Amino acid sequence: MSAAAAVPIRGKAANRSFDVERIRKDFPILQTKVHGHPLVYLDNAATSQKPRAVIDALVRYYEGENANIHRGVHYLSQIATEEFEKARETVRAFVNAARASEIIFTRGTTEALNLVAQTYGKTNVGAGDEVLITAMEHHSNIVPWQMLCAEKGAKLRVAPMNDEGELLLAEYEKLLSAKTKVVAVGHVSNALGTINPVKQMIAAAHANGAVVVVDGAQAVPHLKVDVQDLDADFYAFSGHKMYGPTGIGVLYGKQALLEAMPPYQGGGDMISSVTFEKTTYNKVPHKFEAGTPDMAGVAGLMAAIDYMNGIGIEKIAAHEHELLEYATEVIGAIEGVRLIGTAREKAGVLSFVLDEVHPHDIGTILDQQGIAVRTGHHCAQPVMDRFGIPATVRASFAMYNTKGEVDALALGIRKVREVFA
């Protein structure tokens, strides 16, 4: 597989069979009216909306399958266990992991990243070692490493980016050394939309003996991800940003690394035997899944992946790429708008500031027109500092967004300029 597999598919011809109006009908919430206007939901990088298939999967789980997994001999427990492990296989295929046992269910990306920091990190990062991140990370890929470094006397290093919001690869490579034990990088920046060259970054890190943790929360909704092609050591993502339920996420980890790691939390399911003297831990992935998991969430995540596969991730990527290009042109042309994050390779996100108007005021005025955008620092305060701004307005796209909605946003921004004229 080529590196091109990790970037959106270009070209419109391939997308003739993509019917956005039919897709919109699958998402009940899109019928909502906000302040008398049709909802224009452009806050997908925060959380995406859910198709009927996912909502139905949650209901079906509770109405027909609910029982605790890996425990009972009774009928429902067996059904629930089978569905749970089937979902693990669905996730494995979704990111092309080599084995289903390399898929660990977590509460989300944040928990997955903390899991790696607290297990792999604690056993492999020591005093004087370094953890290397990038200047565009989300707080959830900064703070767990900061905590680890503080505890271990290690140093957090940050690879810089340019004014377009692109990682400076040469600077990144210069920061890699024998001291670098872990590299943690976002596949796609939530604040800027930049697609990082993770495959190259991973190869460079491996050449220096570091393992790489990829925060894929903003990538999996928009790109075909292949963890084996990337050669990622760990890859974390959330269900709720890819049309699945909240409260469920995934950590992919290479089998050999997972097996060598200590458990994250203690409890039921993560053990094979317990006495008061000694506990033997279960094998992976169960070693990392203490307690009763979010079984309904897992069922919903499986439904979300099935739904995305049914439409085709390449088609989704092509549609969103077309939308982003259109939005960049239309919104970028509005007087006073300054786009923040203009990398050549981008996915899903259009961040901007407008004249001297504070993003919070823009957010309120857009909301009055039914347009939902995110305003603020997007849990990436160092990114805001890098651009010398307190906050941005962020429009982020999903498969169900339309050019008409981009036009509504443009109209909304013009209204903001009128109010503040």
Partner 1 sequence: MPELRDLYQEVILEHSKAPRNYKALESANHKAEGYNPLCGDRFTVYLEMDGDKIREIGFQGAGCAISKASASMMTQSVKGKTKEEAEKIFHRFHDLVTGHGQGEDAELGKLAVFSGVSEFPMRVKCATLAWHTLEAALEGKQEKVSTE
SS3 234: strand
Q: Is 390 in the site for partner 1 (CB under 8 A)?
A: yes
Give DSSP secondary structure letters for 251-273. Answer: EEE-HHHHHHSPPSS-SSSSEEE
Q: Which is nearer to partner 1, 121 or 359 (CB)?
A: 359
Short-list 47, 83, 91, 46, CA closest to 236 = 91
End-to-end CA distance of the chain: 52
Out of 375, 387, 397, 399, the only residue in the binding site for partner 1 (CB under 8 A) is 375
Q: Is 391 in the site for partner 1 (CB under 8 A)?
A: yes
Q: Is 201 exposed, middle or buried (0-12, 13-18, 19+ CB in 10 A)?
A: buried
- Sequence-distant (6+) residues with CB within 8 A of 58 are 245, 296, 299, 300
Q: In the numeric block, which tokens belong to residue 251? A: 């950590």
Q: How far is CA 386 from the centre of its chain?
A: 22
- Sole window of 104-112, 130-138, 252-260, 353-361 interacting with partner 1 (rule: CB under 8 A): 353-361
Q: How far is the CB of 371 from partner 1 (least distance, A)?
A: 13
Out of 17, 21, 36, 74, the only residue in the binding site for partner 1 (CB under 8 A) is 36
Out of 312, 348, 359, 412, the only residue in the binding site for partner 1 (CB under 8 A) is 359
Q: Which is nearer to partner 1, 315 or 386 (CB)?
A: 386
Q: How far is the CB of 341 from partner 1 (least distance, A)?
A: 17
Q: How far is the CB of 388 from partner 1 (least distance, A)?
A: 11
Q: Does 379 participate in catalysis according to the annotation?
A: yes
Q: How far is the CB of 223 from partner 1 (least distance, A)?
A: 30
Out of 176, 191, 217, 384, the only residue in the binding site for partner 1 (CB under 8 A) is 384
The structure tokens 């962020």 sit at 394
The structure tokens 């605790």 sit at 68
Out of 283, 360, 403, 414, the only residue in the binding site for partner 1 (CB under 8 A) is 360
Q: How far is the CB of 166 from partner 1 (least distance, A)?
A: 24
Q: How far is the CB of 142 from partner 1 (least distance, A)?
A: 15
Q: How far is the CB of 71 from partner 1 (least distance, A)?
A: 40
Out of 208, 228, 279, 368, the only residue in the binding site for partner 1 (CB under 8 A) is 368
Q: In the numeric block, which tokens belong to residue 59? A: 């209901």
The angle subtended at Cα 102 by Cα 148 and Cα 139, nearest 5°, is 35
Q: Is 351 in the site for partner 1 (CB under 8 A)?
A: no
Size of the site for partner 1 (CB under 8 A): 19
Q: How far is CA 128 from the centre of its chain?
A: 31
- Sole window of 103-111, 218-226, 261-269, 369-377 interacting with partner 1 (rule: CB under 8 A): 369-377
Q: Is 75 exposed, middle or buried (0-12, 13-18, 19+ CB in 10 A)?
A: exposed
Side chain identity, residue 242: M
Out of 358, 382, 402, 417, the only residue in the binding site for partner 1 (CB under 8 A) is 358
Give dist(CA 182, CA 153) in Å, integer: 14
Q: Is 78 in the site for partner 1 (CB under 8 A)?
A: no
Q: Which is nearer to partner 1, 77 or 381 (CB)?
A: 381
Q: What is the length of the chain?
A: 421
Q: Is 419 in the site for partner 1 (CB under 8 A)?
A: yes
Footprint of partner 1 on 260-289 (CB under 8 A)? none
Q: Which is nearer to partner 1, 178 or 419 (CB)?
A: 419
Q: How much of the chain is helix, strand and coil, in % rounded to 5?
A: 45, 20, 35
**With contact defined as beta carbons under 8 Å apart, do 77 and 67 qualify?**
yes
Short-list 371, 395, 372, CA closest to 323 = 395
SS3 43: strand
Q: Is 245 in the site for partner 1 (CB under 8 A)?
A: no
Annotated catalytic residue within 379, 383, 391, 409: 379
Q: Is 420 in the site for partner 1 (CB under 8 A)?
A: yes
By annotation, the residues acting in catalysis are: 379
Interface residues with partner 1 (CB under 8 A) are 35-36, 357-361, 364-365, 368, 375-377, 381, 384, 390-391, 419-420
